[in-house]
């Protein structure tokens, strides 16, 4: 039986969140009485129930964007637990807080907009971080798209982000990183981490080369780059990072259009806040879905092929949306 379950996001700031929380609030229980579950927001409700069924008396959610499904499960069985804690920095979670708070007495919710979840934790949980923890909070901010304050922060953010990027579902590796942190070991010099980082860095450099070579500048406003389905597979896990990197390299808006199984995915990074809007227009015209942040967003289009989507995007960026209506497959 496990005493406490920590459910955290399987990404850079999720790992750092789990480290900070366990170190400052559950140190005596680690490792034998805590089970850490890495998850994604869309399946956090399943992992919450897993912890519940395994007999946990306390469940902590970190960096998990709340969903209707998760909130429903929490409300259904939450009163049987001794304590539930939710700490999250995603704006989309705000609408659910009242609902949970009004039904359950044993829940503690800290939900505010912040660059990263660790940043929110430092600000709201009365943690006084040591210098290394301060560095990790800065790293989490950078992993979540923030500006870096030093070369040290940039490097460590790069190491964590890239070492997990190739296999974002490898939760054993995330647990490995968490253990390194808990034991106070240096991540950058760890052999397992370094090997993953180097491999990812090499593949990323190939991706940047391929993306640069086939990028077409459109009126000096935006570069559009395309990848076929096999290319997408080769570079899986690094496509978002690569698009961000390319936008930085060229100081230009970048649109990556790539083939995936039965769909085309569009990844947009813009220097100002128009990525989400752009993806909204693309998704609307192409009958797809879109989501993300103002400056980093994506759209998924199941009904069109690579060329049709590229044509559609050229139309959208040139403002000639109407011209493309006739081209659409119905």
Q: Is 47 in the site for Mn ion (CB under 5 A)?
A: no
- Nearest Cα neighbor of 268 from 221, 321, 329, 319 is 221
Which range binds Mn ion by CB under 5 A, 14-22, 98-106, 166-174, 227-235? 14-22
> Which is closer to Mn ion, CB of 144 or CB of 245?
144
Binding mask 58-87 for Mn ion (x = CB under 5 A): -----x------------------------
| Site size with Mn ion, rule: CB under 5 A | 5
Question: Beta-carbon neighbour count of residue 188 at 10 Å?
Answer: 14
Q: Find the shortest distance in angstroms from Cβ 232 to Mn ion.
A: 23
Is residue 13 at the binding interface for Mn ion, with CB under 5 A as the rule?
yes
> Binding of Mn ion at residue 141 (CB under 5 A)?
no
User: What does the alpha-carbon distance between residue 296 and residue 300 come to, in Å, rounded to a whole number?
Assistant: 14
CA distance 227 to 214: 9
Site stretch for Mn ion (CB under 5 A), options 2-10, 84-92, 169-177, 256-264: 2-10
Residue 13 or residue 245: which is nearer to Mn ion going by CB? 13
Q: How far is the CB of 63 from Mn ion (least distance, A)?
A: 4
| Closest chain position to Mn ion (CB) | 9
Half-sphere exposure at residue 118, Cβ-oriented, CA atoms within 13 angstroms: 29
Q: Does 269 bind Mn ion (CB under 5 A)?
A: no
Of 13 and 253, the one with the shorter C-beta distance to Mn ion is: 13
Closest separation between CB of residue 221 and Mn ion, Å? 31
Q: Which is nearer to Mn ion, 42 or 202 (CB)?
A: 42
Stretch that binds Mn ion, among 1-9, 131-139, 159-167, 210-218 (CB under 5 A): 1-9
Token digits of residue 322: 């109407």
How would you classify residue 315: left for phi > 0, otherwise alpha for psi between -120 and 50, otherwise beta?
alpha
Q: Decide if residue 258 touches Mn ion (CB under 5 A).
A: no
Q: Which of 11, 88, 245, 253 binds Mn ion (CB under 5 A)?
A: 11
Phi, psi (deg, nearest 5) at residue 210:
-60, -45
Q: Nearest CA to 22 among 108, 121, 123, 139?
A: 121
Q: How far is the CB of 253 from Mn ion (least distance, A)?
A: 24
- Answer yes or no whether residue 161 interacts with Mn ion by CB under 5 A: no
CB 123 to Mn ion: min, Å: 16
**Closer of 11 and 245 to Mn ion (Cβ):** 11
Q: How far is the CB of 156 from Mn ion (least distance, A)?
A: 16
Any contact of residue 9 with Mn ion (CB under 5 A)? yes
Decide whether 56 or 164 has the Cβ nearer to Mn ion.
164
Applying CB under 5 A, does 14 fall inside the site for Mn ion? yes
Q: Which residues bind Mn ion (CB under 5 A)?
A: 9, 11, 13-14, 63
């Amino acid at each position: 039986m496990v005493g406490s379950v920590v459910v955290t996001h399987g990404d850079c700031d999720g790992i750092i969140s789990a480290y900070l929380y366990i170190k400052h609030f559950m140190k005596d229980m680690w490792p034998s009485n805590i089970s850490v579950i890495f998850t994604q927001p869309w399946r956090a409700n399943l992992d919450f129930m897993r912890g519940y069924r395994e007999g946990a008396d306390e469940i902590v959610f970190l960096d998990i964007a709340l969903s209707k499904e998760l909130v429903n499960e929490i409300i259904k069985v939450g009163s049987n637990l001794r304590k539930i804690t939710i700490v999250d920095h995603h704006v989309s979670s705000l609408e659910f807080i009242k609902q949970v708070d009004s039904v359950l007495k044993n829940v503690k919710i800290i939900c505010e907009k912040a660059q990263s979840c660790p940043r929110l934790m430092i600000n709201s949980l009365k943690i006084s971080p040591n210098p290394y923890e301060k560095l990790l909070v800065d790293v989490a901010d950078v992993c979540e798209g923030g500006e870096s304050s030093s070369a040290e922060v940039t490097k460590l953010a790069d190491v964590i982000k890239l070492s997990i990027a190739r296999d974002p579902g490898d939760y054993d590796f995330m647990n490995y990183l968490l253990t390194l942190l808990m034991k106070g070991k240096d991540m950058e010099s760890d052999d397992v981490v370094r090997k993953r980082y180097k491999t990812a860095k090499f593949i990323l450099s190939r991706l940047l080369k391929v993306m640069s070579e086939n990028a077409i500048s459109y009126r000096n406003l935006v570069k559009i780059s395309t990848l076929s389905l096999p290319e997408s597979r080769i570079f899986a896990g690094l496509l978002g990072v690569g698009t961000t990197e390319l936008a930085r390299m060229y100081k230009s808006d970048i649109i990556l259009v790539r083939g995936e199984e039965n769909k085309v995915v569009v990844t947009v990074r813009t220097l100002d806040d128009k990525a989400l809007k752009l993806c909204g227009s693309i998704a609307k015209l192409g009958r797809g879905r879109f989501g993300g942040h103002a400056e980093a967003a994506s759209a998924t289009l199941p009904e069109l092929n690579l060329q049709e989507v590229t044509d559609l995007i050229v139309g959208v960026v040139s403002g000639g949306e109407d011209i493309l209506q006739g081209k659409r497959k119905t």
